[in-house]
Structure 1
Amino acid sequence: MAVSGVETAELAALLMELKDRSGLSYGVLAKRLHMSASTLHRYCRGEALPPEFGTVERLARLCRATPEEQAELHRRWIAADTARQRERERKGPPPRPAVPVETHAAPVPEVRPQGLRVALAGAGVVAAVVAIALLVGLLTDGGDDGSGEGDLAAILDGGQEAEDAPLAVTTRPYAFDQCEGRYLVDLPPAQVPPPPTETDAAGWVRALEAVPAGEQLVELAVQGTGAETVVLRDLRVRVTATGEPLPWELYGGYSACGGGPVRTSAFDIDLDAASPRPTAVDGQQGPPLWVDESEPLVLYATAHAEERSVEWYLELEWSSGDRSGTLRIDDDGEPFRTSAVGDQREMNYMIGGTEWFDSETGEPVSR
């Protein structure tokens, strides 16, 4: 389904300008971006919106965009993504197809990651990797309309409905710090596919029921939905559960970075503290902050866990005129989960490699 809207058209116009200026064909650029030429063509014509800004940023780098152009691309992508989310909320969920009255077909059981683990336990290495890879693909596939992960999981206090809030928040719960991610997974190496790119991290994590190891970087793109200014008064941490560090296998490895922000504010969160709270870092400004329709803001919250496993979420308190509320920010309705790392070995994966290896000895690890 084609994506329409002024915001998407403005993003596409700049993408097309950069592509034409580069002198590279759709085929060459698409190959380097690991996508089809037809998909890239639709992005540049405004017929589809890239599901993650990381895709836009990598295209900009290939076309040698300036830092100013990259910042403008990010602003336009946020505006288009916010418009897409508003359109989804307006339309509501698609109607369920009618089920014939007379049918003898047996119900299809729901496939869950836990069930997948049991099935993989007795399967061969190749079958296990293929099965997980297919599941990752299903979870990360944005579809032809460019839709993807990261929708707002919001609950407002005071009885006000979430869709009435004058701001939109797009959440990336598994952003990368220093272009890498480390995860704890309760599966042996033979059943774990190669590490994900930043764009694919959410699907990879959810398919394997992985948990960020040591720290978790959550990115919040916040934008007003109208002309009025929205003040972000406070950002709070709520811990829902704690426990011992997970004794699972530790996986790291290569990755691909996402893009740079428009305006940012970064926070550190010590999950080992008795009452964790975000602390502004590197001299950056903390709340109160502000956004409106034309001035988005990207918040980065880096949560650290060195002593325990923690389940947690964020609360973003806002006000606009005589209106106010609190948005709950979590992982698609579930708390974020971050675990400290014990003394387990770490396994890595080389770019272009075919298997996991022990990071200390360099020896391949097959099971």
Structure 2
Amino acid sequence: MTRSGDHTPDLHIPVLLGPVMDVLCPAHGEVFVDGTFGAGGYTRAVLDAASCRVIAIDRDPNAIAAGDWLVQSSADRLTLVQGRFSQMEQIAADAGLANVDGIVLDVGVSSMQLDQGERGFSFMRDGPLDMRMEQQGTSAADVVNEFEERDLRHIIGVLGEEKRAFAIAKAITKRRKLEPFTRTLDLAALIEATLGRPPKFKGPSIHPATRTFQALRIYVNAELRELAEALAAAERLLAPGGRLAIVTFHSLEDRIVKRFLHQRSGRAARASRHAPQVAEPDPSFEDLARGGVVADESETASNPRARSARLRAGRRTEAEPHPFALEDFGREVTLC
């Protein structure tokens, strides 16, 4: 869409933009990585804030194509790359950069993807059961139609935190024997029929398919593994004093980021005093937002998606990066 009288696309205002910009604090000559370009909201805000450079990354080829207008209007200050944010070190190196001054990650599915029924992310819009950000590889339909019942139960239970994963997995495997799942609303209807809707008198409730769709999307795109690897890449890529801002939208993502910043800022739980002493690495980050930052009432009123958002942030110290192991980020990460 464009505004009447010009050729600038209507900008999606990203969640927690003010607090994110307070963390990044762009200055003249600095270089930033936007690991989740999406509709370009954070990138444009950084470019507008100072005469700096942005390397923006997105897995979705549609987002890259839609962002060409911003590349053209940025006077060579924006490089837009299709890829994964876990690859940010190589992408920065390809752009001639050994380190950067700031990194922002808006984790999870974008509003654009949810709004496009044909992408298959939403249980509220009919479309193919796809959910692939990169539009290639294993789709949600492949998972639903081909995985063993026990694997579906594990994916839905762990990645969706769905208490009734057993019932959903059983219903899926029973139904697919008669007809495979190909559409989003078909799967959503089965889940609703299996779980039912909570009584309205119990207050606001989420759709019964919410957690299952979340689980499938996370699994198909290996989102939690990508997040863990991106955090470690950011630790290596940020220059001393560099700022890291991460916006998450559900508890699995937030726990990974919280655990990372606790470990890297020296606040992780210590071993028993009776255990052998092990030298701890020096803190590689200063935690800038202990407990996280959430949206205020005015933002949640204008953007309901902001209600579940939480910003965590850190400033890079001069210490060496800590050793990286996926197992340190929790079992959810290794499942992906």
Bucket of the pairwise TM-score, normalised by the shorter protein:
under 0.3
Structure 1 or 2: more strand by fraction: 1
Structure 2 length-normalised TM: 0.27
